[in-house]
Structure 1
Amino acid sequence: MPEIAEVARAVHYIRKSLVGKTLAVVKAQDDANVFGKVGTSAAEFQKALTGKKVEGAGQQGKYFWMIMSSPPHPVFHFGMTGWFHIRGQDSYYYRSKNEDEEEVWPPRFSKFSLQTAGEPKVEAAFTDSRRFSRIRLVNCIAEAIRDTSPLKENGPDPVLDKDILTAEWLEQKLNKKQVPIKALLLDQANISGIGNWVGSVTLTFTSIRLFDYELSKMPLLFHSCDEILYNARLHPEQYSNTFTSEEIKRLHTSMMYICQTAVDLLADSSKFPDNWMFKHRWGKGKKDGPAALPNGEKITFLTVGGRTSCVVPSVQKKTGAVAGDMKKRSTSSDSGDVKDVPVNKQSLRKRKAAVATKSEETDEDITERKKVKARSRKPIQVKEEILDDDAGDISIKAGKLTKEKTSKSTESKATEDIAAIRPTRRSSRQTKPVVPL
């Protein structure tokens, strides 16, 4: 999933190519997921942008938007495989199989395309092969975009909100929760923009088949969360409220450094520092790939809840309680074979079915799921009232046993009739009443 740095790259190219230009042609393809799930349609999007001038662009974490000459303004989320293309420009960083390959336009899996008025014309398109991206319209002034949903439900941006996301703020946030530190950092409600893209997808750049879609060009993405924790020398599964003030300061410094550097470099991984774990982690899954950093420190992978964490145990030591039920895949120092450490199998089996669906969730889906709370249904209870008074004729009315005044001579007959028509435990059918001889 594109994270803070990749989104910053997209915003950079929007500002460079579209800001100050009027959108003469807007073509959108209706998509029940991309548009429909956030209450927008392709027709509404097309109408809202056609003839408008792009006056700016902004970002908060994984969300970004274009500021139009008048509301509404489009707000975007890339989901798993979304991207914003500018025709004729390398708007995202990738390694192409054929550098001389002619660009296909509009690109495959386009959700909308734009063309500016005047000369030179600029063409742009938004693509998404897996349809987890979201495109919505927000009807507010430009200055209030961050104060509307879904942005207002997200935490501060490590690059844009340094005045909010201080070391003191982070310490308070960590101490209020008892969750693995990585889970806290990945929750966009806490901090915006930090992510955990599945590494196996980004290993091959020439030709990838992903869920029946062939992606000949993939952006090179990095795990900002793993990089932050490695740089801070913290274990990803240690509970958030077990870190010392000194460790939290290291985490804050690492977060600011990693996010700012990646954004400044516009997610161009070829320019990332050589001492970043990103440069060496891709040995996972490769037959002859490295299983260690250049200095010899071993790299291991922890799989927790369907998410993979890259860890250097000699650097990221556990200094407090850690989450249980972990499946650890580590490299043996003798043979280099991958071994599985026994865990609570029953717990893992129960979570297996949920993991497949959970791994497909985007931040959008998680935010919506948190908003919806299941309501418990109260069981319907049928009360039976049997009165033990000496006198009274018992009759059945609307599922309730009641009594009426009558003579003692008829009491035994009424009691027999009720016993005969009352349902048994094994069957809801009524038996024939006993008729006295």
Structure 2
Amino acid sequence: MPEISEITRVVHYINRYLAGKVIKNVVANEDAIVFKDTTSSAFVKAMLGKKVVEAKQQGKYFWIEMDSPPHPVMHFGMTGWITFSKAPEAHYRADMAEEDDDKEEIEWPPRFMKFVFEMEDEGNNAAFTDARRLGRVRLIDVPAEQIRKVSPLKENGPDPVVDGLDEDWFKGVLNQRKKPVKALLLDQGFISGVGNWVGDEILYHARIHPEQYSNTLSKAQQKQLYESTMYVCKTACELLGDSSKFPEDWLFKYRWGKGKKGNALPNGEKIDFVKVGGRTSAYVKTRQKATGGTAVKEEARGSDEDSGEVKKSAKKRKAIKTEEDETSVKKGKRGIKPKTEDEEVKTPAKRGRKKAAKVEESQSEEEEENREEEEEEESEVEVKISRKGKSRVKEEKAVVDGSTGTPAGRRSSRLKK
């Protein structure tokens, strides 16, 4: 999802193409989820004929200061973006340099459009799009200088680039909070703008394990974490979130597209993945070793992994045999000939192993697809989507567990690992 550097990119292009110009027409699609505490018709009325002064940001939020209130304050959620008719390179995943003359044509109006600004200069349009409808568009009716003093911005922490971070304050928060450091970095009330990949990049450069509790960091680690936070955020924002220009030694370059053999750095060091605060975190075990208390002990997933798998396999075979024995006895009572011991164990166990492999593969693909998902889902609809997703996974596990006779809790534990 768009994080601090991608928002910087959008603000840059709004100021480049819209600032100083009048909005001659506004088109908006009715969407009671995306338009928060307002309506599409009210939004059109408020924006029509207004002059854009400039765009600003605080972390993952940004707003357009108009020549008079109200001002639109926006958040992209997971898939939101602003598309510019004159700047196809503005998309944060574009691999096109700004100086390129050969610009790709943009479909207009773009798909999943929520509103379009048509500016006074012909052909200069900007559209807010959001496929998953997790973004938010608000109207804040206060003077421009008061926008950060009202909700939703007043609840957010400082922006590392716009506001800077006081080092002593930063270290003080680390000491006061007993929370996995990755989860703390994602807390927008602590720092604005740090999302999943930025948090992983910070911890990679600081050489800190994502699960280590923040209050167990040494003074040297606290200082390194502060410096890495400032370095990653400033560098990414200076490059306007263009990943093709990120330094070659960044984890970002190698964490995506997890294959069967996993991901690795150019020198062969493996990139591992672990869930922290409900988010999939990428880290390099050989560099990011826990030196204090962690939410989940590394040893439980690391050196004892092989022996643990052997023990689990033996327990599963035993569970399968026990259930099949009971089934055979019941069938015998009804006059059905029980299967031999070899048949009872061999066939279900083999089938169970195949289904387990399929579930693990499916789980891996699902984690990959959801790696960039937003940690903050603001509306009830978002919560329902999340719950439905969890329910589907549970149902799939239940089907597999039922066909093999494996206790569901034990299978679920293995999949998470």
For normalisation by structure 2, the TM-score amounts to: 0.70
Contact kept in structure 1, 2:74 and 2:138, CA below 8 Å: yes
Deviation at 1:9, TM superposition (A): 0.4
Deviation readout 1:316-340 (Å, 9 max, x if unpaired): 1111000038898779999xxxx89
Contact kept in structure 2, 1:302 and 1:328, CA below 8 Å: no
After superposition, residues 118-133 of structure 1 pair within 5 angstroms as 119-133=121-135
> Match for residue 45 of structure 1?
43
Distance 1:267 1:14 in 2: 15
Distance 1:4 1:66, change over 3 A: same
Distance 2:109 2:21 in 1: 20
Return the letter of the residue paired with 2:111: R
Contact kept in structure 2, 1:227 and 1:258, CA below 8 Å: yes
Return the letter of the residue paired with 1:115: E
Distance 2:150 2:29 in 1: 26
Indicate which of 310, 314, 318 corresponds to 2:286: 314
> Match for residue 350 of structure 2?
none
> Match for residue 279 of structure 1?
253
Return the letter of the residue paired with 1:58: K
Unaligned residue ranges in structure 1 (runs of 5+): 197-222, 343-351, 370-437
Deviation at 1:174, TM superposition (A): 1.0
Distance 2:105 2:31 in 1: 28
Q: In the alignment, is residue 160 of structure 1 matched against residue 162 of structure 2?
A: yes
Distance 1:143 1:32 in 2: 28
Q: In the alignment, is residue 323 of structure 1 matched against residue 295 of structure 2?
A: yes
Distance 1:315 1:154 in 2: 31
Deviation readout 1:218-264 (Å, 9 max, x if unpaired): xxxxx100000000011100001101111111001000000000000
Q: In the alignment, is residue 134 of structure 1 matched against residue 101 of structure 2?
A: no
After superposition, residues 147-296 of structure 1 pair within 5 angstroms as 147-162=149-164, 165-196=165-196, 223-284=197-258, 286-287=259-260, 291-296=263-268
Deviation readout 1:97-137 (Å, 9 max, x if unpaired): 9x9864210100000001111x3441110000000000000
Deviation at 1:176, TM superposition (A): 1.2
Distance 1:11 1:33 in 2: 23
Equivalences, count: 320
Distance 1:100 1:132 in 2: 29
Return the letter of the residue paired with 1:111: K
Distance 1:330 1:83 in 2: 40
Unaligned residue ranges in structure 2 (runs of 5+): 97-101, 313-362, 383-417
SS of 1:30's equivalent?
coil
Distance 2:151 2:310 in 1: 43
Higher RCO (C-alpha 8 Å, min separation 6): 2
Distance 1:127 1:184 in 2: 30
After superposition, residues 2-151 of structure 1 pair within 5 angstroms as 2-35=2-35, 38-89=36-87, 90-95=89-94, 102-117=105-120, 119-151=121-153
Distance 1:258 1:175 in 2: 22
Distance 2:256 2:200 in 1: 13
Distance 1:79 1:283, change over 3 A: closer
For normalisation by structure 1, the TM-score amounts to: 0.67
Q: Which moved more, 1:65-74 or 1:311-320?
A: 311-320
> Match for residue 207 of structure 1?
none
Deviation readout 1:295-329 (Å, 9 max, x if unpaired): 22221111245411111111111110000388987
Distance 1:58 1:240, change over 3 A: same
Distance 1:312 1:332, change over 3 A: farther
Distance 2:310 2:213 in 1: 23
SS of 1:365's equivalent?
coil
Distance 1:325 1:235, change over 3 A: closer
SS of 2:235's equivalent?
helix
Distance 1:68 1:368, change over 3 A: farther
SS of 2:11's equivalent?
helix
Distance 1:77 1:364 in 2: 11
Please report the RMSD computed on the Cα atoms of aligned residues, expressed in angstroms: 3.4
Contact kept in structure 1, 2:156 and 2:189, CA below 8 Å: yes
Distance 1:281 1:104 in 2: 31
* Higher share of residues assigned helix: 2
After superposition, residues 376-415 of structure 1 pair within 5 angstroms as none
